[in-house]
Amino acid sequence: MRKNIFATLLLLISLTANAQMRIDASTPLKKLVNAEQAIYYLYVDTVDEQKAVENAIRGMLEKLDPHSTYSTPKEVESMKEPLEGSFEGIGVQFNMIEDTLIVIQPTMNGPSEKVGIVAGDRIVTVNNTSIAGVKMDRSNIMKRLRGKKGTKVKLGVLRRGVDGLLTFVVTRDKIPVKSIDAFYMIRPEIGYIRIGNFGATTHEEFMEAAKNLQNQGMKRLIIDLQDNGGGYLQAAAMISNEFLEYDDMIVYTEGRTVKKQEFRAQGNGRLKDIPIVILINEFTASASEIVSGAMQDQDRGLVVGRRSFGKGLVQRPLEFDDGSMIRLTIAHYYTPTGRCIQKPYKKGQLKEYEMDLENRLKHGELTNPDSIHFADSLKYLTLKKQRTVYGGGGIMPDYFVPLDTMQYTRFHRQIAAKSILMNAVLRFIDDNRKDLKKEFTTFEDFNRRYEVPKSLIDNIVAEAEKQNVRPKDDEELQRTIPYMSTQLKAIIARDIWDMSEYFTIINEQNHIVQKALEVIQN
């Protein structure tokens, strides 16, 4: 086809010389193809054809809805990873401190643990190439550490108390990516499970966590979907199924060319008798809204928090041969009562759409329930108890919890944004890991007795001063210290144990979690 078009263009050039060219555009598709060919063959400068086509695709999608997107092969790969439940690599959690990779902990039974890499190790070379002190970005380091299952990578490691460079040859393997961030007994008989996203293994992970908690005496459950941006619809439907009766509607989808598709409970749920409360906030979206909407509409659980994001568009992935992908919106999600989850938008107005959360804050919706108003046309009744719920985009909670704008002081936000806090606590953990593990053999003992030392707080304030970040006055500093100390203690617990221990500490200062405890206990 290209040869034919090229010949046509050459003929046209020779016939028209300086005259204006006309290109056959009998169909929109032909017009697009011919325009691309004309640019490729006739434009005055060299053109990156791949980039030109990608820009054309993005241009078309930008004029549609906010969630129809084009992704390069590299972007597709990074998108799939947290949803597919695994990647291939060496299996370590790490942080960067002053251009040095420090292992927080190796994955249990993973390839690094098997060869003897331990928490606190500094990986300074990969296949004899230095990665420490050379200003290499995190993505480049990860690219060197990851690779196909079965391939080997040689690591140079510095270890405290050991002279010289240790060498480990690690055979890469599949490394699981967990979508359950945390689970633990938050109070006697009350379990807590936080879902980070909805991926291929989420249902299996969720049920393992629920079984573990039931073995510890769980009789009620808090499901935390705060900041959960969604994922696979099927995973959301499978988790919802565990709580609902046979034939209860979970969600349905419908579009211009896509017939209505219903997702209903099969009646084989294993948690149908467990009272639940769902936690949401303004960053809860998509698949998370399917779960919270289904539980609310079916009067199966109460929803606590703030109105969710409002992402109710179904995207179909359309893959190209080179690994790139279009995610094209083909339908809307609807809750069992018929509420459309998608918040309003204007086609092609992406910036306006992205400003929605900021506008909510300005209008007072995130901080004051009296600022939230719904038209009568947006009222719906739940299916069993006939309670009033609201449409218009997102899920409105049954119990509103305002955003506490005073909890994070301006000073706290600044030291967090500049990584002053994180860098200081990571250095502290690195210096004190061995002593902390020796003194606190269990998390329970740590949680009960440990207090963040004043020296760590002083170091953070001093480092902030060096970077011209200062509290407005002593009152702001004193208001900053309590929550910052909780955050520091939680980060220390996470690095010594895991994420469940982190949330055990931090949730005691989370207003939505605390409201949920009040609701579920009553």
Question: Looking at residue 35, what is its pLDDT?
Answer: 84
Using CA of residue 468, residue 474, residue 480, residue 485, what is the dihedral sign? positive
Question: Looking at residue 344, what is its pLDDT?
Answer: 84
CA distance 287 to 268: 21
Query: 448-506: per-residue pLDDT in tens?
Result: 999 999 999 999 999 999 999 999 999 999 999 999 999 999 999 998 999 999 999 99
Using pLDDT thresholds of 50, 70 and 90, give the confidence band for residue 17: very low
Which long-range CB contacts under 8 A does 293-296 form with residues at least 24 apart?
293/251, 293/335, 293/336, 293/339, 293/341, 293/395, 294/240, 294/244, 294/248, 294/249, 294/250, 294/251, 294/335, 294/336, 295/240, 295/243, 296/335, 296/382, 296/389, 296/395, 296/398
Q: Within a 10 A sphere around the Cβ of 288, how many other Cβ atoms?
A: 30
Question: Looking at residue 195, what is its pLDDT?
Answer: 97
* Residues classed as catalytic: 286, 297, 311
Query: 87-103: per-residue pLDDT in tens?
Result: 788 988 887 777 788 88
Give DSSP secondary structure letters for 235-293.
HHHHHHHTTS-TT-EEEEEE-SSS--EEEE--S--S-TTS-EEEEE-TT--THHHHHHH
Looking at per-residue pLDDT, the higher value among 3 and 352 belongs to: 352
pLDDT > 60? residue 4:
no
For range 235-254, the mean pLDDT? 97
pLDDT > 80? residue 3:
no
Question: Looking at residue 86, what is its pLDDT?
Answer: 64
Using pLDDT thresholds of 50, 70 and 90, give the confidence band for residue 286: very high
Query: 433-450: per-residue pLDDT in tens?
Result: 889 999 999 999 999 999
CA distance 284 to 401: 14
Would you state the structure tokens that stand for residue 161, as one six-digit string? 């108390």
For range 75-92, the mean pLDDT? 76
For range 262-276, the mean pLDDT? 97
Question: Looking at residue 25, what is its pLDDT?
Answer: 58
> Shortest CA distance to 106 belongs to which of 96, 124, 119?
119
Query: 377-432: per-residue pLDDT in tens?
Result: 889 999 999 999 998 889 999 999 998 877 889 999 999 888 899 889 988 998 89
Using pLDDT thresholds of 50, 70 and 90, give the confidence band for residue 82: low
Average pLDDT over the chain, rounded to whole? 88
Lowest mean pLDDT among 39-43, 174-178, 347-351, 515-519: 347-351
Question: Looking at residue 13, what is its pLDDT?
Answer: 46
Question: Looking at residue 236, what is its pLDDT?
Answer: 97
Looking at per-residue pLDDT, the higher value among 521 and 406 belongs to: 521
